[in-house]
């Protein structure tokens, strides 16, 4: 193994994969590292160019990817989105004899990525390792009758999930048995979500406050990263369709020290132990979607990456050097790394284009960025037309501001997001408001199946 460029003394070259707000926040954080030499982002966006070089790289062309990694002497590949991980980019790089030992991928191998890639796999994993989650049953193609019978004995609301990746749209929660039955039928008959829906998970409804918890692991030890609350629905008051996320607050007041200790002991530690027990080598980030039900954590889902927009709220709070943590993964010494977090509250507001999460316009000039003070602006759906920054559809930008408490952080984030102007600008007006009103956990319940 060629170790000539290993070691903290020499600068590291990093390739970051992705081009959304999460990747802009990752680029911003990696660029702060004293260990960094060159940062490349594939494909990146107009915001990431401030922190590194955007490159056009076809990840599916492995020969090209290999030459890039060799030519640029890349030591760390950070994978932002789940897609390439579920497709096995880690395995391709790690098992390539020409790259062996040279490159560390931050993100799991294909087998570990199944925690996100298959809901059924994730549920079985949790069941096997005694990790608290909603009770469930899975049904396959050809089991429509059994699935519909099962719905009849359940108490509504019904929670129905397509097994595979469905771009965050594979979950239906409804109290209408007719709707529930037709969703199940369409999935199992391949009419919606294609192969991703040919297996369906029907689970118990959890009533509580939802939290996005994060850890980073080298497969043996793990470090807890700041947690956040995400605002998934498009409309104020949590109304309308689900989106990728319209805002985030970190920390979330209902995830206090006591609750996070339970998350550590009952969810995080057994998950990392379970992966090892099952012989699954897992390194990188793990995002655990949790429900706080009467102060008890229940896992809703695993994601094998960071969240968007949660990353834009949690990484500015992280004082530790992110590249130092990545180096800890590369050398299996993550346990020696230290996580230092800013105590202040960070609030992130997502600025989308009208029509999101459906079709949106593009090409609208964006102005007012120069008026933003005391806040970070992360790009997502932006593009450059000549020298003019324009919208490029969907979630356009996110704005993160700090406050010494939640109310101040909210005020500061809205003050900063206000002057940003483009045709069709849409943002939720109530990010964080529910947490100011109800700082403690609401009473919740776990409905019996």
Give residues in contact with ligand AMP (CB under 6 A). 134, 159, 161, 168, 171, 173, 203-206, 210, 232, 289, 300-301
- Measured distance CA(356)–CA(353) in Å, rounded: 6
- Measured distance CA(312)–CA(212) in Å, rounded: 13
Out of ligand GLY, ligand AMP, none, which partner does residue 215 contact, by CB within 5 to 8 A per kind?
A: none
Q: Which residues of 189-225 are buried (b: 16+ CB within 10 A; e: fewer)?
A: eeebbeebbbbbbbbbbbebbbbbbbbbbbbbebbbb
Out of ligand GLY, ligand AMP, none, which partner does residue 314 contact, by CB within 5 to 8 A per kind?
A: none
Nearer to ligand GLY, 163 or 310 (CB): 310
If one counts every other C-beta atom within 10 angstroms of the C-beta of residue 255, the result is 25
Burial of 267 (0-12, 13-18, 19+ CB in 10 A): buried
Nearer to ligand GLY, 147 or 313 (CB): 313
Nearer to ligand GLY, 51 or 395 (CB): 395
- Measured distance CA(75)–CA(407) in Å, rounded: 41
Where does 32-158 have alpha helices with state H? 62-71, 82-86, 89-94, 110-117, 119-128, 144-153
Q: How far is the CB of 307 from ligand GLY (least distance, A)?
A: 3
Q: Which residues of 301-324 are buried (b: 16+ CB within 10 A; e: fewer)?
A: bbbbbbbbbbbbbbbbbbebbbbb
Nearer to ligand AMP, 243 or 416 (CB): 243
Element (DSSP H or E) covering residue 138:
strand 136-140
Tell me which residue of 18, 52, 16 sits closest to 32, measured CA to CA: 52
Out of ligand GLY, ligand AMP, none, which partner does residue 116 contact, by CB within 5 to 8 A per kind?
A: none
Out of ligand GLY, ligand AMP, none, which partner does residue 205 contact, by CB within 5 to 8 A per kind?
A: ligand AMP
Beta strands 222-230 and 247-250: pairing type?
A: antiparallel
Out of ligand GLY, ligand AMP, none, which partner does residue 307 contact, by CB within 5 to 8 A per kind?
A: ligand GLY
What Cα–Cα distance (Å) separates residue 141 from each residue in 122, 162, 166?
Answer: 19, 12, 17
Rama region for 332: left / alpha / beta (φ>0; ψ in -120 to 50; rest)? left
Q: How far is the CB of 435 from ligand GLY (least distance, A)?
A: 16
Q: How far is the CB of 368 from ligand AMP (least distance, A)?
A: 32
Contact 276, 389 (CB under 8 A): no
- Measured distance CA(386)–CA(117) in Å, rounded: 39
Q: How far is the CB of 206 from ligand AMP (least distance, A)?
A: 4
Q: How far is the CB of 292 from ligand AMP (least distance, A)?
A: 12
Nearer to ligand AMP, 171 or 369 (CB): 171
Q: How far is the CB of 446 from ligand AMP (least distance, A)?
A: 9
Which residues sit at the interface with ligand GLY, rule CB under 6 A? 230, 244-245, 303, 307-308, 310
Q: How far is the CB of 231 from ligand AMP (least distance, A)?
A: 11
- Measured distance CA(390)–CA(242) in Å, rounded: 25
Q: How far is the CB of 5 from ligand GLY (least distance, A)?
A: 33
Out of ligand AMP, ligand GLY, none, which partner does residue 300 contact, by CB within 5 to 8 A per kind?
A: ligand AMP
Nearer to ligand GLY, 33 or 303 (CB): 303
Nearer to ligand GLY, 120 or 310 (CB): 310
Out of ligand GLY, ligand AMP, none, which partner does residue 203 contact, by CB within 5 to 8 A per kind?
A: ligand AMP
Nearer to ligand GLY, 170 or 307 (CB): 307
Out of ligand GLY, ligand AMP, none, which partner does residue 206 contact, by CB within 5 to 8 A per kind?
A: ligand AMP
């Amino acid at each position: 193994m060629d170790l000539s460029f290993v070691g903290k003394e020499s600068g590291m070259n990093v390739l970051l994969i992705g081009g959304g707000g999460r990747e802009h926040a990752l680029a911003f954080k990696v660029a702060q590292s004293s260990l960094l030499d060159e940062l490349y982002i594939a494909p990146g966006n107009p915001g990431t160019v401030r922190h590194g070089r955007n490159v056009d790289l076809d990840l599916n062309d492995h020969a090209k990817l290999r030459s890039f990694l060799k030519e640029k002497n890349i030591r760390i590949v950070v994978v932002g989105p789940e897609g390439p991980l579920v497709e096995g980019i880690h395995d391709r790089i790690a098992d390539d004899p020409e790259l062996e030992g040279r490159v560390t991928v931050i993100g799991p191998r294909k087998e570990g990525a199944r925690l996100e890639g298959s809901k059924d796999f994730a549920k079985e994993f949790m069941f096997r390792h005694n990790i608290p989650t909603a009770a469930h049953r899975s049904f396959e193609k050809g089991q429509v009758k059994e699935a519909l019978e099962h719905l009849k004995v359940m108490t509504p609301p019904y929670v129905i999930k397509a097994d595979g990746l469905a771009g965050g749209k594979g979950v239906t929660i409804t109290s209408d048995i007719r709707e529930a039955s037709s969703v199940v039928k369409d999935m199992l008959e391949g009419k919606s979500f294609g192969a991703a829906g040919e297996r369906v998970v029907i689970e118990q409804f959890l009533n509580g406050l939802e939290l996005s918890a994060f850890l980073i692991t080298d497969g043996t030890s793990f470090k807890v990263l700041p947690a956040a609350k995400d605002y998934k629905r498009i409309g104020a008051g949590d109304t309308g369709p689900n989106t990728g996320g319209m805002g985030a607050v970190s920390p979330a007041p209902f995830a206090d020290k006591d609750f996070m200790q339970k998350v550590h002991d009952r969810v995080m530690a057994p998950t990392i132990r379970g992966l090892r027990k099952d012989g699954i080598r897992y390194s990188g980030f793990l995002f655990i979607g949790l429900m706080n039900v009467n102060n008890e954590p229940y896992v809703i889902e695993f994601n094998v990456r960071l969240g968007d927009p949660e990353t834009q709220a949690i990484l500015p709070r992280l004082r530790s050097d992110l590249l130092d943590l990545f180096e800890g993964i590369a050398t299996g010494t993550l346990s020696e790394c230290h996580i230092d977090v800013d105590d202040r509250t960070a609030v992130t507001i997502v600025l989308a284009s009208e029509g999101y999460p459906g079709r949106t316009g593009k090409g609208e000039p964006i102005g007012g960025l120069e008026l933003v003070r005391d806040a970070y602006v992360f790009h997502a759906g932006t593009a450059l037309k000549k020298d003019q920054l324009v919208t490029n559809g969907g979630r356009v930008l996110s704005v993160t501001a700090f406050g010494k408490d939640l109310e101040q952080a909210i005020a500061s984030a809205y003050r900063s997001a206000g002057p940003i102007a483009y045709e069709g600008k849409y943002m939720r007006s109530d990010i964080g408001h529910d947490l100011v009103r109800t700082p403690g956990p609401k009473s919740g319940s776990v409905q019996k199946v």
